[in-house]
Structure 1
Amino acid sequence: MFFCHSTELRDDFPELAAGVLFAVGITDSASVDAPIADLNTVAGARLAKGPEGEMPEIQAWRRAFSRMGLKPTQYRCASEALLRRFRQENALPRLHPLVDLCNAVSMAFAIPVAVFDVAGITGNLEVRHATGKETYLTFSGQTEHPEAREVIFADDAGQAHARRWTNRQSGLSAVRDETKGVLIVAEAMHASAPADIRKLVETLAGHLGAIWPVTPKAAILDRASPRFEF
């Protein structure tokens, strides 16, 4: 199996920086309270200086959404949605230790982080434009069809695992209590994205190795190395 971005998408968004991790051995019984508290402190300090909409990481994704024909304040990237909720409620609901950890990392870096249960993925996974024939399963169990040219995470079976790029993931590959193998993808567009993505991947890999009995496989993707095999 491999993960990549389509050549067309990289041509449209040459500023894209991406980092990926793969790990097997995740459990739902780990404690992530300590790293989440530290990461939330970082996110809180950033929000104390100004709302999430003023952060360069979020502004870059808003520009990307506008270029995709989406209204940025109607469809927000995942990190903006998390920061917005954290600013309003000072906490996020707990879902699964890995998801909770990745959400905290996403907020601390203001960078979208997607987590997929690889058991729900058929074949390879590519971020590309939709044809309009793909299927997307919502968390409530409903089936949708992304519009043609919408940016999605699509597998070889034509299943969309995320809609509007970094806006909404699918229930099909959502992390659950029985999840063992995961693919984690972080993507950014701002000026310092390459360095920040590398730091994010190193931070997340360190936490994964310290919390679970796993040795994550990680990589930074670019035009020279666009594919991650897992």
Structure 2
Amino acid sequence: MGASIVIDVSDQALMRFQHSDDMWRDFPELVPGVIFAKGVSADVSVSGQVARFAEIAAKRLATATEGELPEIQAWRRAFSQMGLKPTQYRCASESLLRRFRKEGALPRLHPLIDLCNAVSIAYAVPVAVFDVSKISGYVEVGYATGDETYLTFSGESEHPPAGEVVFADAASRAHARRWSNRQSGHSAVRDTTTDVLIVAEALHGTALADMESLTTTLADELSAIWPGTPRSAILSASEPRFEFTP
């Protein structure tokens, strides 16, 4: 592994996020952006922020469908590389853009999720949000061993097959399946959530510049809405690890 980006070290348990070496080998174009934020709550309004980012998405969709956007095309190629049919298993941002194009809005779930979904459609990049209190030790994006357990939003347990890309923790719990396709209900944000790990990933040609803009923009929005200063980093094969202390 490469050098580490140490974000917050104290007497509390240090946690980390990273992609496996195999993922960097197979997807060298990958650019992840990571944010750790404390003090999140559900008693705020993000209507103004959501409207601003939705307007950006609407302008892009006025000239092209989501499937024609370079960000989405890159993810479709990655899904094909993983042996998945890209129009059957869509990355999260494509699914959100598809729904937004058809319905003109996204469902409201929680202020943080609403904000991150709006940022996701504005940038056409998948943005995942995890409740840190539901994570054991670390999260690594890599190929499943077949022993991981995944909890659906309906409460059913699944076991991703060996070789599927998952977000796995130290307890062999999969927090997302098929990479950026479907998140687990276990670590989903709830009204009681306070500390979160936000992960955005891109694969297209201008991914680095776009990810720098996305993480800066989202971190600024978070700090303006909730008390505290979010920590963020852009990861790479040479600096693949993000460490944080809840």
TM-score (normalizing by structure 1)? 0.99
Residue aligning to 1:86 = 100
Deviation for aligned residue 1:39: 0.2
Q: Distance in 2 between matches of 1:224 and 1:74?
A: 33
Q: Distance in 1 between matches of 2:190 and 2:209?
A: 31
Asked whether the 8 Å contact 1:132–1:149 carries over to 2, the reply is yes
Deviation for aligned residue 1:225: 1.1
Residue identity matched to 1:179: T
Q: Distance in 1 between matches of 2:52 and 2:105?
A: 13
Q: Distance in 2 between matches of 1:26 and 1:73?
A: 34
- Aligned-pair identity in percent equals 66
Q: Distance in 1 between matches of 2:81 and 2:167?
A: 18
- In the alignment, which of 58, 78, 102 is matched to residue 44 of structure 1? 58
* 1:208 and 2:222 matched: yes
Residue aligning to 1:114 = 128
Instruction: Provide, for residues 19-71 of structure 1, a one-character-per-residue CA deviation record: whole Å limited to 9, x for no partner.
Output: 00001100001110111100000000000011000000000000000000000
Counterparts of residues 2-21 of structure 1 (less than 5 Å): 2-21=16-35
Q: Distance in 1 between matches of 2:210 and 2:154?
A: 34
Q: Distance in 2 between matches of 1:168 and 1:214?
A: 29
Q: SS state of the match for residue 201, structure 1?
A: helix
Counterparts of residues 97-136 of structure 1 (less than 5 Å): 97-136=111-150
Deviation for aligned residue 1:215: 0.5
Q: SS state of the match for residue 41, structure 1?
A: helix
Counterparts of residues 41-80 of structure 1 (less than 5 Å): 41-80=55-94
Residue aligning to 1:146 = 160
Residue aligning to 1:161 = 175
Asked whether the 8 Å contact 1:28–1:177 carries over to 2, the reply is yes
Q: SS state of the match for residue 27, structure 1?
A: coil
* 1:182 and 2:196 matched: yes
Deviation for aligned residue 1:223: 1.4
Deviation for aligned residue 1:214: 2.0
Structure 2 unmatched ranges of 5 or more: 1-14
Structure 1 unmatched ranges of 5 or more: none
* 1:227 and 2:237 matched: no
Query: Pairwise CA RMSD of aligned residues?
Result: 0.4
Residue identity matched to 2:104: N
Q: Distance in 1 between matches of 2:189 and 2:75?
A: 24
Residue identity matched to 1:208: L
TM-score (normalizing by structure 2)? 0.93
Deviation for aligned residue 1:153: 0.1
Q: SS state of the match for residue 217, structure 2?
A: helix
Instruction: Provide, for residues 137-196 of structure 1, a one-character-per-residue CA deviation record: whole Å limited to 9, x for no partner.
Output: 000000000011000000000000000000000001000000000000000000000110
Give 4+ residue runs of structure 1 displaced > 4 Å after superposition.
none
Q: Distance in 1 between matches of 2:175 and 2:194?
A: 18
Asked whether the 8 Å contact 1:26–1:214 carries over to 2, the reply is no
Residue aligning to 1:27 = 41
Q: SS state of the match for residue 147, structure 2?
A: coil
Q: Distance in 2 between matches of 1:195 and 1:80?
A: 20
Residue identity matched to 1:217: R
Deviation for aligned residue 1:224: 1.8
